[in-house]
Amino acid sequence: EVVLTQSPGTLSLSPGERATLSCRASQTISASYLAWYQQKPGQAPRLLIYNASNRATGIPDRFSGSGSGTDFTLTISRLEPEDFAVYYCQQYGNSRFTFGPGTKVDLK
Amino acid sequence: EVVLLESGGGLVQPGGSLTLSCVASGLSFSSYAMSWVRQAPGKGLEWVSAISGRGGSTYYADSVKGRFTISRDNSKSTLFLQMDSLRAEDTAVYYCAKALVSVTTFDSWGQGTLVAVSS
């Protein structure tokens, strides 16, 4: 089973700053099977990025994804007030889905 | 617009059973695989189960295999999760989620329904 590790656990930043979130897999995975979600308190997760680098419908271009193999990155180029949330990476393999533990982006 | 609406959550005693439902609208329901994903209070996301578009294939996380059963009624655009032998560790908000055509990602989520297992 693929285990996803996310770092850092918490990222404290100010609006306008750049956020770089990491997701590392315990074994090589296809970039086609890596996604990122945003979750705000009391809300369902929202798909941001699929296939490692494709923005989902309606997602602003300040969100970008990259990576391959075992290392993947979500970058928020300039944080907006509404971007403070928890971010999860997720992978698919062998008809199963696994999520990383999440990175919380909070206000510095 | 795709809308997923879960129901059926509540308080149940350990060892009890509960059935969750998720009614979908705004999509050709039978064309998409669906999943249940749960989130324990203050914790991260955990995939629970998935079912193919026509219902012929089902998949389960090891933590629920043998206790939970996923099914769907495409004529009613409804997804189900039958939960038996419930444990305290099953306490969570349960979300239904629609998969992309590629199956590998969830592009629409319901608002969730809370299941609490406690005596």
Chain A residues within 8 A of B105 when measuring between CB atoms: 35, 47, 50-51, 90, 92
For residue A49, name the pLDDT band (cuts at 50, 70, 90): very high
Range with lowest mean pLDDT among A27-31, A74-78, A80-84, B27-31: A27-31
Chain A residues within 8 A of B59 when measuring between CB atoms: 95-96
For residue A94, name the pLDDT band (cuts at 50, 70, 90): confident
Contact A101 B35 (CB under 8 A): no
Q: Contact, A16 vs A78, CB < 8 A? A: yes
B106 touches chain A (CB under 8 A): yes
Q: What pLDDT, on the 0 to 100 scale, is given for residue A59?
A: 97
Amino acid at B59: Y
Contact B104 A35 (CB under 8 A): yes
Cα dihedral A80, A33, B73, B117 sign:
negative
A46 touches chain B (CB under 8 A): yes
Chain A residues within 8 A of B107 when measuring between CB atoms: 47, 50, 56-57
A88 touches chain B (CB under 8 A): yes
Average pLDDT over residues B2-25: 98
> How many Å apart are CA A100 and CA A70, to the nearest integer?
13
- The SS3 assignment for A82 reads helix
pLDDT higher than threshold 80 for residue B102: no
The tens digit of pLDDT for each residue in A14-35 reads 999 999 999 999 999 988 899 9
A95 touches chain B (CB under 8 A): yes
| Structure-token match 């989520």, residue found | B109
The tens digit of pLDDT for each residue in B69-87 reads 999 999 999 999 999 999 9
